[in-house]
Amino acid sequence: MTVRTRFAPSPTGYLHIGGVRTALFNWLYARKHGGQFILRIDDTDAERNRPEAIQPILDGFQWLGITWDEGPGIGGPCGPYFQALRGHLYREAALKLIETGHAYPCYMTKEEVDVLRKQAEGEKRNYVHRGRDRTLAPQDALRLFHEKPTTIRLKVPDDRTVVVDDQICGKVEVQSNLIGDPVIARADGSALYNFATVVDDAAMKITHIIRAKEHLSNTPTQMLVYEAMGIQPPIFAHVPVVNAPGSSKKLSKRDAHKFVTPDVIAMLRAVHAVPAEWTDEQIKKNESLNPVMVEYYRILGYLPESLINYFGRLGWSLDDKTEIMSLETMRTNFGFDRVNQSPASFDPQKLHWVAGEYTKVASLERKIDGVIPILQRGGLLGDQIDRDKIVQVVNACGDRLKILSDVLTYGAFFFRDPQYDAKAVKQRLHKEDMPELLREFAEVLTNAEPFDVPTLEAKLQEFSAAKQAKAGDLNHALRVATTGVMIGPGVFECLVIFGKAETLRRIDIALQIPKT
């Protein structure tokens, strides 16, 4: 039997990183066993069922390299892959369950149920719903339902121990007497999650259900649905949830705004990911651009494989020391035996480190291609692209680029005039008679041929020795004068990229800054 796994997001419009991890585990397991990974859109809740809410999710997966064998965009033998289009299947399945005596139309009103619930509460008893109509003979129930449609409930069997043999959590046993008869379909015939998911997973021949731990409690109920339908249940594997950074609470979209810290806001502004006129509040409210969504990392220039690596390693490990590994390595080694049972907190700092490891070894071409749109968005580059110059800049930045948008902090001055940092100017440029020294060194530079790193370095050594000045001090001043800041690639590399004329021009500009 070929392995078939699935990921079934609801169309919220954004790809959540917790979902990415669950999807990744499904993908890994299917691919490891030569099986199929299916993407299904769980859009039974019609209200927010907008087509445009699906595309960002598909785009996110595509960017990450998580491919699906059946689902939106490609179809497949078990379609449609949208729950909204499968209503007739649920209705059919529900009627069949009534017919076989496993389900019944429940005519108790909400008020009646509330009375029973209150009564149970009063007696400090747990309320377990058992509909009054559950004893109806199947034929009568069916006839009655057709005459007067109402909610359909599953008939939960009495005195049974339901066993979920979970691949990660182990054997979990629950008494059926504690499970109330669940509503599986509304009066209008629309299905509820616990039912729709089972009908679909069965129809799509899903063999392994890999999903978040929060679904474990619902699983016995679903087992009962499988049983009622006369279908062998799939194998379950519930993966622990991803918690918010430094918290023991689930990372949820609901409090995503909490992670939009001043740092994050500054980052988004720096890369011009949001309109400049937006207030901090507006940025906070923007749902897709915050650290729980994949889009956030894409816009900041994280390489997709770094997210894959990080999230694959969150809750699962290859061995006692491997941190950096390819998707392929994960694929060949993935297994439930090395998935943790306890929740894992998302650590943005570690993700950032992983990202750096990938950027470090990425090909120059990829970095160039990634950096160009970032520079353009930042208004540092127009439509005319001098690719050679960008090659030089990216090379000069070297390992300083952990994420591609770091090019803005280390190399913005290559594309515009220096923006002088007051502190840098005061400390390095307006130090004693440095301005005069720099003026004289500019003269030297005029005659520097060729204008390359070794020559410039030699000139600076020679000049400072002659003037009995510290080479380091002059070097620092030169950096601030030409770049405006105290950090960046090697100063001679910078000068070479500027070229002689531009270097001299920048020194001139710097020498005109009044001392304060």
Catalytic annotation, residues: 253
Q: How remote is the C-alpha of 419 from its chain's centroid?
A: 34
Phi–psi pair at 166, nearest 5 degrees: -80, 135
Q: How far is the CB of 44 from RNA (least distance, A)?
A: 4
Neighbours of 485 (CB within 10 A): 18
Q: How far is the CB of 224 from RNA (least distance, A)?
A: 14
When the beta carbons of 319 and 388 are compared against RNA, the nearer one is: 319
Farthest-apart Cα atoms in the chain, separation:
108
Cα gap 393→485, rounded to integer Å: 16
Q: How far is the CB of 310 from RNA (least distance, A)?
A: 8
Type of residue numbered 120: A
When the beta carbons of 274 and 324 are compared against RNA, the nearer one is: 324
Cα dihedral 355/360/362/366 (nearest 10): 80
Q: How far is the CB of 495 from RNA (least distance, A)?
A: 12
Nearest to 370 by CA among 420, 306, 417, 289: 306
Q: How far is the CB of 120 from RNA (least distance, A)?
A: 10
Cα gap 121→359, rounded to integer Å: 58
Q: How far is the CB of 487 from RNA (least distance, A)?
A: 4
When the beta carbons of 319 and 432 are compared against RNA, the nearer one is: 319
When the beta carbons of 167 and 286 are compared against RNA, the nearer one is: 167
Cα gap 399→397, rounded to integer Å: 6
Cα gap 238→259, rounded to integer Å: 26
When the beta carbons of 9 and 283 are compared against RNA, the nearer one is: 9
Outline where DSSP puts E strands in 375-511. none
β-strands 4-7, 36-39 pairing? parallel
Which two structure tokens, joined as six digits, stand for 328?
A: 């392929």
Length in residues, the chain: 516
In the DSSP assignment, the letter for residue 238 is: E
When the beta carbons of 59 and 457 are compared against RNA, the nearer one is: 457
Neighbours of 386 (CB within 10 A): 11
When the beta carbons of 122 and 514 are compared against RNA, the nearer one is: 122
Q: H or E segment at 483?
A: helix 471-483
When the beta carbons of 231 and 486 are compared against RNA, the nearer one is: 486
- Helix, strand or coil, per DSSP, at residue 461: helix
Which two structure tokens, joined as six digits, stand for 230?
A: 């006369």
Q: How far is the CB of 222 from RNA (least distance, A)?
A: 10
Q: How far is the CB of 277 from RNA (least distance, A)?
A: 30
Q: How far is the CB of 244 from RNA (least distance, A)?
A: 10
Rounded alpha-carbon distances, angstroms, from residue 226 to 43, 188, 209, 395: 21, 23, 13, 59
Contacts of 366 (CB under 8 A, 6+ apart): 303
Cα gap 436→234, rounded to integer Å: 80
In the DSSP assignment, the letter for residue 120 is: H
Cα 259-398-419 angle, rounded to 5 deg: 70
When the beta carbons of 218 and 376 are compared against RNA, the nearer one is: 218
Phi–psi pair at 70, nearest 5 degrees: -140, 145
